[in-house]
Chains A and B, each alone.
Chain A
Amino acid sequence: MMRRIVRTGILNFIRNAWLGIAAMAVMVITLTIILFSVIANATFANTIQTITDRIDISVYIKDEVTSKQLDGLITQVRGLENVRDVNFVTKDEALKVYRQQNANNPELLQAISQTENPLPASLQIRPKDPNRIESIRTFLEKPEIKALQSDETSYSGDRKAAIDKITSATNFFQRAGIAGVIVFAVISMLIIFNTIQMAIFNRRDELTIMRLLGASTNFIRGPFIVESIMYGVVSGLVSITIVRSLFSISAKTFEASSLGLLDIQFSNQYFSRHFWLFLLLQLLVGIFIGALSSLIATRRYLKFKTSK
């Protein structure tokens, strides 16, 4: 029975393919938007993470601090909540970094090598959540800790502002993505709904005959649902093919470049890494939209009615 329903549904799908093109076109757009939203979301999250990773708090240490005091300080900082890790940069290392950064400026290098190393050793503290560094700040502001420091603590405030900007941009894109998905999902459901309704109308004589012969509602309804599930499957395949080719084109065009927030390379890798998952997602969403809209369409128009 099930096999007959599925077979009839697929047959009708092939016969109705022309009628179903509009339905499938909108469904492809919907699925593509969904896929892009998911990828863009992951890419933004990745960008934020990358920048967050670079955020740190630099605590400059006075030269006269003993190594025992220093060890104590490091242990204490490690014990603070919201501290991911602590990295100690010695005076020599600081000098080395400084030299590298100013390799093109011989005068500065000259000046710095004439005196004793003027750069302080420092602790680079990386917070878990850069938006909640108050507890770390409070600790560092304590007088006995403050006494160990040579300079004002640097909180890389400019980076935090950048992160806030990205976060709000991401939130905006997320909302826009969700709105777009909903709008297009509704449109494609309406169009599939219409397509199925037309198919029912075209075959109304046949359906009447099936009725009179005692076909159950499910036997009549099943093929229509199978048919619209096929719309979903085909649209899912088309959509993922489109996205895949877009990525392979863009990967060549913008080799290793980033377009502002959108790190194409990461998006591409993310897409390829989760290709099968995305394919499954596309198919499931397509099948869901198709099945739901045809369920509603057939429910309305194939209802069993006996006039009284």
Chain B
Amino acid sequence: MILLDRVTKKYNRSGPALERISLHVEPKEFVIIVGPSGAGKSTLLKLLTREEKPTSGKIIVGGIDYETLKDKEIPLLRRKIGVVFQDFKLLPNKTVWENVAFALEIVGMGNKEIDHTVPRVLDIVGLKGKEKRMPRELSGGERQRVAIARAIVRQPRILIADEPTGNLDPKHAWDVIRVLEKINRFGTTVLLTTHNQEIVNKLKRRVITIQDGTVVSDRANAEYHA
């Protein structure tokens, strides 16, 4: 599903942000990426969403080889990957419903189908009844679940969650993690980055540790101690 082969990313400053990273993620896997700040986790995800291009190395996601991907095709790629951000990135002037529906409008889905799809997704993330709220009226955890709803509404095969619990208290953080697990059970590959030891240790999933731009460990059912 996701394949990275000796991927290196250098910014102009000093050393490389990522150095010769090789990774393989199977379909339907739930993978947690951990590591200290500045280790290169966010860079890795930005390479996957094509916000950044690698300096060298090969990236293949869902059968798309990034080397041959044209700029024009980037929107099509992003529609296949759901992304959840630490700062939610919701549209502040739109309601919960509109935020989720927006992801479908972009791809040109008809209004009828949108009306049919959005409630089901809001139900999955546990936001039924809050369709008309504005993002500012919601708690952090609720906002993040709106963001997740938006990320999965197009049924992507891959969901990338970049520190989705970073701004949340433990209770809300777990709400979000439970939703991610649920989505994973439905068959979506989930890639999660986090700092939260407790979450990592309780989930007992494959854990990839990145430090100074390289993979230092990659173990199944692993625990993590910073």
CB distance from A135 to the nearest CB of B (A): 66
Task: For B79, list chain A residues within 8 Å (CB).
Answer: 213-214
Q: Is B226 an interface residue, CB under 8 A from the partner?
A: no
Interface positions of B from 47 to 74, Cβ below 8 Å from A: 49-53, 55, 71-72, 74
Is residue A256 within 8 Å, beta carbon to beta carbon, of the partner chain? no
Is residue B224 contacting chain A, with contact meaning CB distance below 8 A?
Answer: no
On whether the beta carbons of A215 and B108 are closer than 8 Å, the reply is: no
Q: How far is the CA of A211 from the CA of B52 in the complex (A)?
A: 13
Query: How many Å lie between the Cα of A4 and that of B98 in the bound state?
Result: 13
Least CB distance from A131 to B in Å reads 59
Instruction: From A209, A212, A304, name the one whose CB has the most chain B CB atoms within 10 angstroms.
Output: A209
Verify A304–B71 contact, CB threshold 8 A.
Answer: yes
Chain A contacts for B178, CB-based, 8 A: none
Interface centre among B51, B52, B83, B90 (most CB of A within 10 A): B51
Residues 62-121 of B at the A interface (beta carbon under 8 Å): 71-72, 74-79, 83, 85, 89-91, 93, 102-103, 105-108
Contact size range, B: 20 to 34
**With A209-B91, A307-B52, A308-B53 known to touch, is A216 a contact of B105 (CB < 8 Å)?**
no
Nearest to B11 among chain A residues (CB) is A307
Q: Which residue of B lies closest to A206 (CB)?
A: B91
Indicate whether B143 reaches chain A with its CB closer than 8 angstroms. no
Q: Which residues of B contact A216 (CB under 8 A)?
A: 75, 106
B89 contacts A209, C-beta separation under 8 Å: yes
Tell yes or no: A182 within 8 A of B by CB.
Answer: no
| Contact yes or no, A306 B89, CB < 8 A | no
B74 touches A213 (CB 8 A): no
Distance in angstroms from A229 CB to nearest chain B CB is 21
Partner of A308, one of B55, B77, B91: B55
The digit string for B26-57, where 1 denotes a CB below 8 A from any CB of A, is 00000000000000000000000111110100
Pairwise interchain contact B71-A213, C-beta atoms closer than 8 A: no
Closest to A305 in B: B71
Contact A307 B91 (CB under 8 A): no
Given contacts A206-B91, A212-B89, A217-B75, 7 further A-B contacts (CB under 8 A): A210-B106, A212-B49, A213-B78, A213-B106, A214-B79, A215-B106, A219-B106
The 8 A-B residue pairs whose C-beta atoms are closest, nearest first, are A214-B78, A214-B79, A215-B106, A1-B108, A214-B75, A216-B75, A308-B53, A304-B71
